[in-house]
Amino acid sequence: MTRLPIADIAAGRLTPAQLAHNFADVVPPLQRQAALVEANRCFFCYDAPCIKACPTGIDIPRFIRRIATEDQRGAADLILSANILGGSCARVCPTEVLCEGDCVRNKEGDTAIQIGALQRYATDWVYRDGVQLFARKPATGKRVAIVGAGPAGLACAHHLAREGHQIDVFDARAKAGGLNEYGIAAYKVPDFAQAEIEWLLGIGGITLHFEQALGSQLSIAQLSADFDAVFLGVGLGAVNALGVEGDSLDGVRNAVDFIAELRQCDDLSRLAIGRRVVVIGGGNTAVDAAVQSRRMGAEQVSLVYRRGPGSMTATVAEQDFAKAEGVNVIHWAKPHRLLADDGQLTAIEFEYTCADAAGRLKSSGEFFSLPADSVLKAIGQTFDASDLIANLNAGDGPTLHLRDGRINVDEEYRTSLAGVWAGGDCVLGHMDLTVQAVEDGKRAAASMHCYLSAKEL
Ligand code: SF4
């Protein structure tokens, strides 16, 4: 019998110079001449479909026209007024399925306008030069608590701070930024998330508090008593389990934890990586984990998804990028069990799947295995509100309504609790994208400002 490979997880597979190269900006910024040429390709469409495809409704033709006329300040103002995290979104948005996907030039024989790259060109100078485009109104004396310093919370904070309210933002982690700081591949946002936050805080009136988790250090009841309004932008805290034999073996971990560790590591040559990595999942987190494993020096990286490519939530561009990076993408297979030798992960066995006539996933009864010293699970995150909800909903008072496992909000992002709004990934019906979280925070802030304006001091 052939002996299975011995686990091999080690640091320093690549030199510091190779790692620096691999984790540099994956898409270099447009230079002035290229930006002007690209801006002048835009048709400046009336009733532009690209605007409708942007969750934050940025007036894309107008900002592109301002780039074309070299009014960079005007372009940045338009973008950041609609989307205060427009710098991050220019880097991480799946533009190929949003604005660029709907661009009228996105057709055979032509190419979509590079809207994301132009947005980055229009805004990068703002952070570089520390230019404040927005002014804070006189202090209102109203105080708002925001739980979660991710895109939704930060967008909400900035819009309310501009109105003159005093904002306290609480986050369970040691840094602000949420997904942008902890959950996205390092080569997409090198050294950017904190620079953007520093600029955003320049508006004034926003105080950040770290390592303050809802449920343990904070309670909604106390925040509601201490502040005039509360916004919950807590994101998703739990990861789905594989539910197969061997799930808890050493070497099996959540892809989001791997990405967060990598993002927070200041010396990648000291970060251990497997030689044979298997990533399970079909979303952007799976692709980010797989590509970063390759760029860390893993020799074999496979990404395995239970359905076909059309069902993956990672865009076609992301899937193609993973393949170009040497990731072996396998469709129609689901994990069956993890194999170990002396308690050490050595391989993962999969079962081929197929869909029946109604599209339901079926097992085939045929199996294959991949050698693995590291398995990264990227099979979806869920909103874990168990402690919070148990605590909050225990008494006779008002309850926070959930639906389908997420916070239920109305069209103004109001929860079932008076004076409490919510947005971002923790709310029902939310598209799990940074740009959607920003829009949630912005819309909630508009509603909260109306509420605060009518409230007596
Ligand atoms: Fe320009 Fe394309 Fe938008 Fe038309 S759809 S305004 S060409 S970016």
Going by CA atoms, what residue is nearest to atom 4 of ligand 1? 45
- Mean pLDDT within 132-148: 97
Q: Nearest-CA neighbor of 422 among 392, 456, 378, 379?
A: 392
User: 403-440 pLDDT, tens per residue?
Assistant: 888 899 999 999 999 999 999 999 987 677 999 999 99
134 touches 176 (CB < 8 A): no
Which residue type is seen at 235? G
For a pocket test of ligand 1, which of 38, 40, 41, 45 has the largest count of ligand atoms closer than 8 A to its C-beta?
45
Residue 43 alpha carbon to ligand 1 centre in Å: 6
Residue-wise pLDDT for 147-161, tens only, equals: 999 999 999 999 999
Max Cα–Cα distance, the chain, nearest Å: 78
What spacing in Å lies between the alpha carbon of 321 and ligand 1's midpoint? 25
State how beta strands 406-407 and 402-403 pair.
antiparallel
Is residue 258 within 8 Å of residue 289, measured between CB atoms?
Answer: yes
User: Ligand 1: which of 110, 113, 114 to mutate, judged by most atoms within 8 Å of the beta carbon?
Assistant: 113
User: How far does CA 244 lie from the centroid of its chain?
Assistant: 27
Strand order in the sheet with 143-147: 206-209, 166-170, 143-147, 229-232, 420-422
Ligand 1 atom 5: the closest Cα is on which residue?
103
* pLDDT tier for residue 5 given thresholds of 50, 70 and 90: very low
- The span from the CA of 384 to the CA of 382, in Å, is 6
Q: pTM (2 decimals)?
A: 0.93
Q: Which amino acid is at 182?
A: Y
Amino acid at 251: G
Residues 6+ apart with CB under 8 A from 31: none
- Which mutation among 41, 44, 50 tests ligand 1's pocket best, with the greatest number of atoms within 8 A of CB? 50
User: Which protein residues touch ligand 1 with a CB less than 6 Å away?
Assistant: 42-45, 48-50, 60-61, 103-105, 113, 115
* The token pair that represents 196 in the structure block: 């953007």
Other CB atoms within 10 Å distance of the CB of residue 72: 19
Statement: residue 7 has pLDDT above 90: no
Ligand 1 pocket test: which of 105, 106, 118 has the largest number of ligand atoms within 8 Å of its C-beta? 105
CA–CA separation, 242 vs 258, rounded Å?
Answer: 16
pLDDT band at 315 (very low <50, low <70, confident <90, very high): very high
Say what the pLDDT of residue 167 is. Answer: 98
Average pLDDT for 334-356: 94
Q: How far is the CA of 49 from the centre of ligand 1 (A)?
A: 7
Atom of ligand 1 nearest to the CA of 115: 8
> Which residue's CA is the nearest one to ligand 1's atom 3?
50
Count, residues in the chain: 457
